[in-house]
Amino acid sequence: MAKKKVAVLTGGGDAPGLNAVIYTLTKTCILKYGYELIGYKFGYRGLYTNDFMPLTLENTTGILHKGGSILYSSNKDNLFDYKVMENGVPVRKDVSHVAVENLKKEGVDVLVVLGGDGTLTSARDFSRLGINVIGVPKTIDNDLMATDRTFGFDTAVNIVTEALGRLHTTAESHHRVIVVEVMGRNAGWIALYGGIAGSADIILLPEIPYTVDNIVQKIRERDARGKMFTIIVVSEGAKEEGGEVTVSKVVADSPDPIRLGGIAHKLSYQLEERIGEEHEIRPVVLGHTQRGGETSPYDRILSARYGSHAARMIHDEAYGQMVCLKKGEISSVPLEEVVGAQKLVDPNCELVQVARDLGISFGDRHVHRFK
């Protein structure tokens, strides 16, 4: 079989595990199959500008544990709707043909795309143009329907759990209510997993609308039991009953312009008005700390499995598909079935019930009196 040339890019927000996939894919492709690899920089932007670097055993050594991406990333560059300047005026155009020509010019046989829903949507569209594409699922939000787990999620949960442990001691010392905002967009997986693991008292999810009254009731129940502090974990996409999500800003030139954020401060102000005489309220926004630092052992292993399987798919010419994890086994699913549907928390799922059994409140009408 002829030697293949493989191109790799990382798109969307960075996530721990990207480098682990690059590391494993590069080593497997070179050592097992003898392929040549290049990496496009800054996601699809590099594919448009033809900005790439070789991926070798030498320049990928020692990156398995590192967060971020040695290829860098961008969450603004959709080549099917790309901002270019014409006569000094910014316009949006489909420039995907430029990327296709660049791939052909460099003799690329296969494009491996590491990303979430937006990045994989473009991967599917390039597949429709006849490019041999393989996708690898990445997002700390864990909201891709086609796989049981995305790499980056476990590391983010570990960071949230550690932060909650640190916040518990200061909250208890000062009898404070601390509102901790975590990422996740419209999916509450990080808040749910991190909240349970970090012994939160209240968890607010996008999937379960809350009321401030129910939150205040839970805080006062804890006060009555001598628990004079409360830890609230709130997902950035959480909202009150009948309300809307809290938007921090709109990035006009992004394919996904709405940036969520600010719910911790908003809720803190609301609680201050209600129980400010009883408690100090402190908002904490974990923000991009959830994306940084070293990759967790679980995510390193998952990423290695994904990278190894992607190399095998290249060898088998199983194009137009995404690597996935289903019931503990690594397999693949067509890119056509990957995008367009988010995996959200089922309000009636086992883990929500476990949290309720522990006395954790979700700010809804279902109230426990134990924790």
Whole-angstrom Cα distance, residue 185 to residue 2?
44
Q: Which residues are catalytic?
A: 141
**Are the C-beta atoms of 198 and 165 separated by less than 8 Å?**
yes
What stretches of the chain adopt beta strand conformation (E)?
5-10, 36-40, 52-55, 82-86, 89-93, 110-115, 133-137, 176-182, 202-204, 230-235, 247-250, 258-260, 280-285, 321-326, 329-334
The string over 10-41, giving b where at least 16 C-beta atoms fall within 10 Å of a residue's C-beta and e elsewhere, is bbbbbbbbbbbbbbbbbbbbbeeeebbbbbbb
Listing DSSP states for 315-337 in one string gives HHT--SEEEEEETTEEEEEEGGG
> What is the phi/psi pair of residue 81, to 5°?
-155, 70
